Structure 1
Amino acid sequence: MAEYVNPVYPATFADPFVLRHGGFYYAYGTAPGNADGRAFPVLRSPDLVHWEPLGHALVPPGGTDFWAPEVAWHDGTFYMYYSAQGIDGRDHQLRVATSTDPAGPFVDAGVVLVPDQPFSIDAHPFKDDDGQWYLFYCVDFLELEDDHRVGTGIVVDRMTDMKTLEGRPRMVHRPHEDWHLFLNQRTMYGKVYDWHTVEGAAVLKHDGRYYCFYSGGAWEKDNYGVSWVVADHPLGPYRRPEEGGRALLMSTLQGQLIGPGHNSFVASPAGGETWIVYHAWGPDRTGRRMCIDRLRWDDGRPATDGPTASPRPAPV
C-alpha cells in the first residue's frame, strides 16, 4: 500500500488551498514571490502526495504582500480570491483575479471585494448544491458583544456574481476562547487590545448541515489549531460545539508539527475519502509546510488523526 509522510512538500507553502480539476490537484499557497514578480506558488499532483512546482500563479496589481489564495472554477473561468497589502496605501484588502488555466497566470480584475472594511483577508468561496456561491472572509471586530472578544473574525456574504458580493455580510464566528489569543496588549486602530483571532474558513456540507472549519490563535505559535461551527444554511446562524476550550479537530503535535491550520478540503483520487490539507511548522520553525490527513466522521462529528508525522496510507 502506498504511503505518505508529512509534510508532503518540502518548501514553504502556507495557507494551502487545493483545487481538483481535469484529473489533477492544483495547490496554491502563501510564500515569498518569484523573481519575475509573480505571487503565490502553484503545485500540481496526481495523488495529493507527489507535487510538481509550476511556478507562481498571480500577476500582482501592485502591492507589497499577498496572502491566502483560493481558486474557484465557474463557467470555464478560474477565479482566484486573495488579499493584497500596499495597494493605494491600504492594509490587506480582498481582491479577485481570473485565468483560463488553473496554473495561471491569474490577472487581477481590478475589484476590491469589501471596500468598506479597513482590513479583510482569507476569502473562501463556497458553492452550495443549488449553484449559489457564497464568500466567507475575515474582518476585524472592535466591539465587545456577548462573550465575544476583540479581534479578527469570520463573516459570510452571498455572491451576486463571481466578482461581486451582495453587501449584506452575516457574522459566522468571532473569537471567544482563551486559545483564540493572538497577542496580549496589541496596538491596533490607535488603541491597545488583548487581540484574539479566528480565521481561515473552510466549509463542508455533511448530512444537510454546513460545517465552517476555522483556525484560531496565533499563526506562529503552538496554540494555533483547527475547530468548527455548524449551521443549517450557509448564511447561518452558526452554532458552536458543546465542548469548547480547545481546538477540537487538530492542534500542535509537540516537537513535530506545530500550529497546524488554515486548511482546505478535497476528495481523494477515487472520490471516496475527504482529505484535509493544512500547513504546520516543523521543529526548526523555518517555514510553514503543506501537510495532509484523512477526515472522517465519528458519530456525526468531524475527526482526524492529524496532525500526523509518521508514515500513513496514502489517499485512494
Structure 2
Amino acid sequence: MSEERTAFFRDPVHDGAADPTIIFNEQEKQWWMVYTNRRADAPGAGVSWVHGTDLGAASSKDGVHWTYRGVLQGLAVEPGRNTFWAPEIIRHEGIYHMYVSYIQGVPDEWAGHLRQILHYTSANLWDWTYQSTLELSSEKVIDAAIATLPDGRFRMWYKDEVNHSHTYAADSTDLYSWKVVGPVITEFPHEGANVFVWKESYWLIVDSWAGQVMYKSEDGEAWEKQTTILTENGVLEDDQGPGLHADVLVHEGRAIIYYFTHPSWRRGLSQNTYETRRSSILAAELVLTHGKLTCPRQTNIRVLT
C-alpha cells in the first residue's frame, strides 16, 4: 500500500468497516483494529445491511498498514444470526475486556428493537468468554467507551437512545459490576463517545453526524466543550464527508484518531446502493498548539513505533 493511499482500510469481504477500536495485541506484538463489519453488499430490505453484523479484525505492525484477519468467533449468546456493533476493548491485569452493542436478529428497520451492551473477556483477542449483559439506564444502549478516573474507578460512557440519544455514564471498580451515574453530554443528540487521556487532561469526543465534537476535563467528570473536528472533506479519495464514530489511540505522546467515512454520500443520491453504503476507516493526528486543538486530514500519517 502506498503512502498516497485512497483509503486507510476497507473491509475486503463486505466493504462496510465502521466503528473501529484500536488496541495492542500483547500476544502477537501487533496493533489490532476490531470494528463493526457492516454488510454494504447485502441485498436485504431497508437497513438490514447494518444489522446481522460480525466484528471484523485487522492487524498491523505500524498502525498504518493493515491486514484483514477475519471476524471474531464464539460471541453467540443465543442461536441465529444476530447483530454486533461498536466494540470497545481494554486490557486490565492481563485480560482483555470487550463491551459490544448487541441486537437480536437482523432487523430491517431502526426502531422497535432492544439494544444492549454485552461484556466479554479474552486472554488473546481471539477466544472470547461471555460474562454478562449490562443493566444500564434503559434497554436501548449502545457505543460503550471506558477510561479510568483519577481515583481508580472505571467509567463507561455510552449512548442512551431512550433518553434523547445523549451520553450517559456508569461506574465500576472491577469491570464486571456497573452502577449508572446518569447523563453526561446532553446538549444535542449524538453517539459514539470516546474518552482518552492526553497532555495531562481527559478528552471526550462524540459523533454529531457532522463531525466529532470535542470536550475537555481535568477529572473525567466535569466537561467543557472545545471544538468540532473532522467536519470538512479530506484530500484522499475516501476521506470525504464528516469523520464518523471514532477511536483515539494515545501512544508515546501522540494522539491518533481512527474514524470511518461514507465517501460516496452525496445529496440526492439514494442511500440504499452499494456505493453509498460502503465505508472506509481512516486516521489523522490530533495537534494541540497553545491550547487550541486541530486535526488536519492529510494524505498520510506517521507510523507508530
User: Aligned-pair distance for 1:130?
Assistant: 5.1
1:279-290 aligned at under 5 Å gives the runs 279-283=260-264, 284-290=275-281
User: Aligned-pair distance for 1:8?
Assistant: 1.5
User: Aligned-pair distance for 1:205?
Assistant: 2.3
In the other structure, the counterpart of 2:183 is 171
Matched-pair contact (CA < 8 Å) for 1:4–1:49: no
The answer to whether the aligner puts 1:61 opposite 2:77 as a matched pair is: yes
In the other structure, the counterpart of 1:162 is 175
User: Aligned-pair distance for 1:202?
Assistant: 1.2
The answer to whether the aligner puts 1:118 opposite 2:139 as a matched pair is: yes
User: Aligned-pair distance for 1:32?
Assistant: 4.2
Aligned length: 264
**CA distance in 1 between partners of 2:99 and 2:150 (Å):** 21
SS in 2 for 1:258: coil
In the other structure, the counterpart of 1:42 is 57
Judge which range, 203-212 or 152-161, deviates more: 203-212
Q: Of 107, 110, 120, which residue of structure 1 is paired with 2:129?
A: 107
Matched-pair contact (CA < 8 Å) for 2:99–2:144: yes
The answer to whether the aligner puts 1:278 opposite 2:263 as a matched pair is: no
Q: Of 192, 204, 211, which residue of structure 2 is paired with 1:200?
A: 192
State the TM-score, normalized to the length of structure 1. 0.75
Alpha carbons of 1:265 and 1:31: their partners in 2 closer, same or farther (altered >3 Å)?
same
Alpha carbons of 1:252 and 1:288: their partners in 2 closer, same or farther (altered >3 Å)?
farther
SS in 1 for 2:165: strand
Matched-pair contact (CA < 8 Å) for 1:19–1:71: yes
Matched-pair contact (CA < 8 Å) for 1:3–1:314: no
1:195-253 CA distance string (max 9 Å, x none): xx311111122444321111113xxxxxx31111222322x232223x7xxxx111141
User: Aligned-pair distance for 1:302?
Assistant: 2.4
In the other structure, the counterpart of 2:224 is 239
Alpha carbons of 1:6 and 1:164: their partners in 2 closer, same or farther (altered >3 Å)?
farther
Q: Of 114, 118, 125, which residue of structure 2 is paired with 1:91?
A: 114
SS in 1 for 2:161: strand
Q: Identity, % of aligned pairs? A: 18
**CA distance in 1 between partners of 2:89 and 2:4 (Å):** 25
Matched-pair contact (CA < 8 Å) for 1:114–1:120: no
**CA distance in 2 between partners of 1:114 and 1:237 (Å):** 24
In the other structure, the counterpart of 2:153 is 132
In the other structure, the counterpart of 1:17 is 21
1:5-64 CA distance string (max 9 Å, x none): 35221222100110123231111100148xxx9920111111112112222125221362
**CA distance in 1 between partners of 2:4 and 2:23 (Å):** 20
**CA distance in 1 between partners of 2:167 and 2:7 (Å):** 28
Alpha carbons of 1:170 and 1:312: their partners in 2 closer, same or farther (altered >3 Å)?
same
State the TM-score, normalized to the length of structure 2. 0.77
SS in 1 for 2:204: strand
Matched-pair contact (CA < 8 Å) for 2:63–2:304: yes
User: Aligned-pair distance for 1:95?
Assistant: 1.0
SS in 1 for 2:139: coil
Amino acid at match of 2:230: M
Amino acid at match of 1:27: M
Gapped runs of 5+ residues in structure 1?
143-150, 177-196, 218-223
Matched-pair contact (CA < 8 Å) for 1:7–1:292: no
Matched-pair contact (CA < 8 Å) for 1:225–1:251: yes
**CA distance in 2 between partners of 1:90 and 1:115 (Å):** 16
Matched-pair contact (CA < 8 Å) for 1:296–1:304: yes
Amino acid at match of 2:76: P
CA RMSD of aligned residues (A): 2.6
Judge which range, 73-82 or 249-258, deviates more: 249-258
